[in-house]
């Protein structure tokens, strides 16, 4: 016996499948590294898939010794995001990715969402490379991609009718509200406050004023900023929601 008019119940944990897949991949990679691979095998994984600025320094002896060749020069701009120093490092990234990644995944859809994470990871790696030229220390972690998702979310979550606005609608419509222009982000008090808090926190971590619990190395704060700025600037490249027609905003995004 069925009741066609009975109200549908929303699941307790309503996480987009694309985000669940990303989280599962991050966890699986870490579990394999910790519990399956030997130390020598894990070192090989780091050298092959972590982002190492020395790869791109022709004068560095390390560049010639690193495995992967020219292909690794390309894929490590993204693959480093799947590697984490420890469970705390992984847990922090998942904790921040859940709320902001969920909002962006629901708005963008799976393909655009995954492309955004890849591009913002690459943006973070690029800024890290520019600020650490020739450095032999591997950079790992999904923080740049997480930062990119946070930046993308800023463009629409504070809008009227959006996911965290006071006057909020229901269902998936809250994720389809027209986004703020880039100029609008800097003119919206809530978005501007979020930007100030985010950049301030990252600078504190980066300058060493605030230790990161469980951290086994330096915080790659430049990569965080690179991912965030990439997500903020390239939001409309991936956004499928039609823009409002405002002539004043036509060239600001």
Domain boundaries, the chain: 17-249
Can you give the pLDDT at residue 8? 46
Long-range contacts of 7-15 (CB under 8 A, 24+ apart): 14/102, 15/98, 15/102
* Residue 191 backbone dihedrals phi, psi, to 5 degrees: -65, -40
CA–CA separation, 70 and 129 (whole Å): 16
Can you give the pLDDT at residue 93? 96
- The tokens describing 210, both together, are 């605030």
CA–CA separation, 150 and 145 (whole Å): 9
Residue bearing tokens 């399956």: 36
What's the DSSP call for residue 219? -
Can you give the pLDDT at residue 213? 38
Q: What is the pTM of this model?
A: 0.85
Mark the ranges of the chain whose per-residue pLDDT is less than 50: 1-13, 166-167, 209-215, 246-253
Please check whether residue 153 is in contact with residue 19, taking contact to mean a CB–CB distance below 8 angstroms: no
Instruction: Specify burial of residue 155 (Cβ count, 10 A radius: 0-12, 13-18, 19+).
Output: buried
Can you give the pLDDT at residue 32? 98
Q: How many CA atoms lie within 13 A of 27 on its CB side?
A: 10
Please give the angle made by the CA atoms of 176, 182 and 188, to the nearest 5 degrees. 80
What's the DSSP call for residue 6? S
- The tokens describing 152, both together, are 């993308």
Instruction: Specify burial of residue 35 (Cβ count, 10 A radius: 0-12, 13-18, 19+).
Output: exposed
So what CATH class is 17-249? Answer: mainly alpha
Can you give the pLDDT at residue 253? 37
């Amino acid at each position: 016996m069925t009741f066609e008019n009975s109200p549908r119940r929303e699941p307790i944990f309503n996480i987009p499948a694309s985000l669940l897949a990303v989280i599962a991949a991050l966890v699986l990679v870490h579990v394999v590294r910790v519990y399956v691979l030997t130390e020598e095998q894990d070192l090989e994984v780091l050298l092959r898939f972590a982002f190492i600025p020395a790869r791109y320094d022709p004068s560095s002896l390390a560049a010639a010794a690193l495995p992967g060749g020219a292909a690794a020069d390309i894929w490590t701009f993204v693959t480093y995001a799947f590697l984490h120093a420890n469970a705390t490092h992984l847990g922090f990234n998942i904790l921040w990715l859940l709320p902001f990644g969920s909002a962006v995944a629901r708005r963008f859809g799976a393909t655009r969402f995954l492309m955004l994470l890849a591009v913002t990871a690459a943006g973070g790696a690029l800024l890290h490379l520019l600020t650490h030229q020739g450095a032999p220390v591997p950079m790992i972690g999904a923080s740049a991609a997480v930062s990119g998702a946070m930046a993308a979310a800023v463009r629409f979550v504070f809008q009227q009718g959006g996911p965290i606005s006071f006057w909020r609608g229901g269902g998936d419509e809250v994720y389809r509200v027209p986004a703020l222009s880039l100029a609008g982000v800097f003119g919206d008090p809530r978005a501007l406050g979020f930007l100030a808090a985010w950049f301030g926190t990252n600078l504190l971590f980066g300058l060493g004023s605030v230790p990161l619990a469980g951290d086994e190395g330096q915080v790659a704060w430049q990569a965080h900023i690179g991912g965030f700025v990439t997500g903020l600037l390239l939001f409309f490249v991936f956004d499928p929601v039609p823009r409002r027609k405002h002539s004043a905003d036509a060239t600001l995004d």
